[in-house]
């Protein structure tokens, strides 16, 4: 058999497999959306959009995030965590625009956790001024964004946001005191 025929047969087999997987995913999406009512556990499949936490492939996205964090050295890991925290903030705002408040709040909480982890790592081992400045900017941005979107949540959800804002301020204060100690 010639190489061209083998290539086209392989390509046809690959595309057929992709089509079967796509149809299977669409059927899973329909079944899961009919059986689940909690917006945070519903998964959808859409093409041409940013992958949000409600996307069927989001767990794959999260796995690549974790691998990237694992493979990063300390300085890079702090920057990656800050980046993930800010990305989760932007993602939560997108979810809010789709009126997916519960999922948005979960995403905000996870983003905040990334910033807390980055701050803790900085406080334990890092005294780099560039990292400190970037971290402080990220925490301030998070605080300002939370204050802007807070009124879009329910009263119960605002309690969680208030707790995050308090923790955010505590970490900002810790970073400020670190800066003062470095100057002495």
DSSP 8-state secondary structure symbol assigned to residue 87: H
3-state secondary structure of 44: strand
Task: Give CA–CA dist 56/30, Å, rounded.
Answer: 11
pLDDT-based confidence at 173, cuts 50/70/90? very high
Per the model's pLDDT, the better-predicted residue between 97 and 42 turns out to be 97
> How does 36-75 read in b/e, with b if 16+ C-beta sit within 10 Å?
eeebbeebeeeeeeeebbbbbeeeeeeeebeeeeeeeeee
pLDDT-based confidence at 5, cuts 50/70/90? confident
So where are the chain's domains?
A: 1-35, 51-183
The answer to whether the beta carbons of residues 78 and 121 sit under 8 Å apart is yes
* Bridge partners, 55 (sequence order): 44
Task: Give CA–CA dist 104/43, Å, rounded.
Answer: 14
Q: How much is the average pLDDT of 144-168? A: 96
Q: Is residue 124 pLDDT above 80, yes or no?
A: yes
**pLDDT score for 9:** 76
Angle at 92 (CA atoms; ends 87, 94), nearest 5 degrees: 100
Q: How much is the average pLDDT of 87-107? A: 92
* Cα atoms in the 13 Å half-sphere on the side-chain side of 92: 27
Q: What are phi and psi of 22, to 5 degrees?
A: -60, -45
Task: Give CA–CA dist 84/172, Å, rounded.
Answer: 18
Q: What is the pLDDT of residues 17-73, one digit of tens each?
A: 666 655 655 554 443 443 334 444 566 655 656 767 776 677 887 888 889 999 998
3-state secondary structure of 56: coil
Average pLDDT of the residues of the chain:
81
**pLDDT score for 34:** 39
Residue among 86, 88, 109 at smallest CA distance from 164: 109
**pLDDT score for 48:** 58
């Amino acid at each position: 058999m010639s190489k061209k025929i083998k290539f086209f047969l392989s390509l046809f087999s690959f595309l057929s497999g992709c089509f079967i997987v796509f149809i299977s995913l669409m059927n899973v999406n329909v079944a899961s959306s009919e059986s689940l009512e909690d917006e945070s556990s519903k998964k959808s499949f859409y093409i041409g959009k940013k992958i949000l936490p409600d996307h069927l492939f989001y767990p794959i996205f999260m796995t690549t995030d974790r691998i990237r964090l694992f493979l990063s050295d300390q300085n890079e890991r702090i920057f990656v965590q800050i980046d993930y925290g800010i990305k989760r903030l932007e993602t939560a705002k997108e979810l809010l625009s789709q009126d997916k408040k519960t999922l948005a709040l979960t995403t905000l909480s996870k983003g905040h956790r990334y910033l807390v982890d980055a701050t803790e790592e900085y406080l334990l081992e890092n005294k780099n001024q560039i990292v400190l400045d970037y971290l402080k900017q990220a925490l301030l941005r998070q605080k300002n964004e939370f204050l802007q979107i807070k009124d879009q949540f329910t009263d119960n959800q605002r309690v969680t946001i208030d707790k995050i804002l308090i923790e955010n301020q505590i970490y900002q204060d810790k970073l400020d005191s670190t800066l003062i100690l470095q100057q002495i």
